[in-house]
Chain A
Amino acid sequence: MDRLDPRARADIYGQRINRAPYAWRVRSVPYASIMLGSILPVLLIADVMPLLPSLGFLMLLGWRMVRPGLLPLWAGAPLGAFDDLVSGQPFGCAILFWSLAMIAIEMIETRFPWRGFWQDWFTAGGMAVIYWLATLLLSGAPVTPEMFLVALPQAVLSILLYPILARMVAGLDRFRLARARRID
């Protein structure tokens, strides 16, 4: 008998027969990647101005937009608490704004159930800019006019980075659901 093409029984997550995804990967990848997004900017030494937008927040938006319904509604709070510990903002800042962002997206989604990429980008961009302004004003330090000038690139970057991060999230999602475990 001719062997069938092995790809015939596979999809983007791998072979379908005799394989299953790892349970720990399915659960942990979204949270781990968002926390990694919080930690990564810490490794840079910024002595003049903020160098990167809050990657943790953008990753949260990415996961929420690319996989609706995966993160529970309250997931912004524990992830935000972790971000607060390393970001330099006063503790509670990210807990508040990440929670509000999750609620806001939920309400936008109820209003517009079918969304496209451009609408996602618009929503994420708007939220990133609001978050940028809020963190700037509530940083716990006196606000000077120069601050807005040096932080402006951060706002622009946070809008431009969203599509790239959304693609990364999609890639991470394929990794998360890849059927890498063999069932014997």
Chain B
Amino acid sequence: MAPPSSRRSGFSKKAQFSQFAGYLLAGGFAFLGLSLLLLSLWQPAAFAPMRGVAGEVVTPVGTGAAVARTQSDGVLANIAAYFQAGSQNAALREEMEIARIRLAEAEAVKAENRRLKGLLGLADAPVKPVATARLVGSTATSIRRHAYLGAGSSSGVEPGMPVLSERGVIGRVLEVGRNSARVLLLADSESVLPVRRAKDDVIAFAEGRGDGLLRVRLVNLGINPLKVGDLMVTSGAGGYYRPGVAVAVISRITPDGGIASLVAEPSATNYVVVEPVHQSVAVTALTPGAESYTPPPAAPSAYQGASGE
């Protein structure tokens, strides 16, 4: 379509000036945008309050979408299950037999654990979740992997708190609004999490790669002890997460560790819980400028400092 002829200014001084003013304004806004962009790349938390307000607007809409999503997931799963019912039934029966045996073993280990802990005088109080909410949305157009949570500071959620699903770790609270919060998912390339292998004490860092997988880097280099299929759990170093929560399963071995896929996929969750920071006293002591806590850039270095790398 040809531009309307009113855009030709001709001899009209008014039209000429308004066209010039338009260019000036647009150029000025572009420059403003550039300076805001540089500011927020330098201080990522600078515009958190404004994003919090926007989150409040998105959350009610997202809650409806989240309900629809979990229900439609169920429908699809039901249809898929119908087609595989026979073979799946046999496989599941066999799996359950084995699981029962393992459960009995786990009970025994748990009892022994309790006894040994009693001997040592250690007591882990059961963790009471701060809030239970749905993941109501995510940044699906950006390369960043953030999610929106339907609970905020009014339910006691604070930046830094771990977000877990019934399967394992989802991520960490990054910014908080009144009734919504922004969660840094594990797959984000800025996320770093101290982990260890579930069956022994091989410790490592799990870094997001930005493509939904985690890069597990061993702390002690040497012969790589990891195997495909190893489960990595949180080690508790850094003080944010309580130890022993499932994080990822190794799917490929690399010279310095492995590539792992997530145990708890955010899109497959129904509800998630926000837990309090595991060792909040230690975290506060480690964070420089304890009052003004800035989540994203400070957190990875805090982890690394805490685990003595």
Contact = CB atoms under 8 A, between A and B. Distances in A.
B300 to A, nearest CB: 10
A171 interface: no
Contacts of B22: 72-74
Given A54-B141, A91-B50, A147-B211, A47 B36 contact: no
A69 B3 contact: yes
B34 interface: yes
B16 to A, nearest CB: 14
A62 interface: no
A91 B46 contact: yes
A88 B144 contact: yes
B17 interface: no
A102 interface: yes
Interface string A73-109: 1101100101011111111111111111011001001
Contacts of A85: 47, 50-51, 53-54
A92 B33 contact: yes
B147 interface: yes
B40 A135 contact: no
Nearest to B34: A96
Q: For chain A, which range describes its interface: under 10, 10 to 19, 20 to 34, or 35 or more residues?
A: 35 or more
A103 B266 CA distance: 39
Interface in B45-96: 46-47, 50-51, 53-55, 58, 61-62, 65, 69
Contacts of B266: 45, 47
Given A45-B135, A95-B32, A95-B33, A140 B144 contact: yes
B26 A87 contact: no
A142 B190 contact: yes
B34 A92 contact: yes
A44 B37 contact: no
A33 to B, nearest CB: 16
Interface string B123-155: 000000000000111111111111110000000
Interface string B146-171: 11100000000000000000000000
A142 B189 contact: yes
A87 B135 contact: no
B139 A46 contact: yes
Residue of B32, B140, B144, B185 most packed against chain A (CB within 10 A): B140
Contact of A74 (B26, B38, B136, B138): B26
B86 to A, nearest CB: 31
Contacts of A67: 1
Given A77-B29, A103-B23, A46 B34 contact: no
A6 interface: no
B3 A109 contact: yes
A46 B142 CA distance: 10
A93 B62 CA distance: 24
A1 interface: no
A136 B68 CA distance: 30
A106 B7 CA distance: 11
B4 A47 contact: no
B33 A69 contact: no
The 10 A-B residue pairs whose C-beta atoms are closest, nearest first, are A88-B139, A92-B36, A95-B33, A48-B212, A96-B33, A92-B37, A77-B29, A85-B54, A99-B30, A73-B22
28 contacts: A43-B137, A46-B145, A49-B211, A49-B212, A50-B140, A50-B143, A53-B141, A69-B7, A77-B29, A77-B33, A80-B33, A82-B54, A85-B54, A86-B54, A86-B139, A87-B142, A88-B144, A89-B139, A91-B50, A115-B2, A139-B143, A140-B40, A141-B210, A146-B210, A146-B211, A147-B189, A150-B210, A151-B143
Interface of A: 39, 41-55, 66-69, 72-74, 76-77, 80, 82, 84-100, 102-103, 106, 109, 113-115, 135-136, 138-144, 146-147, 149-151, 154
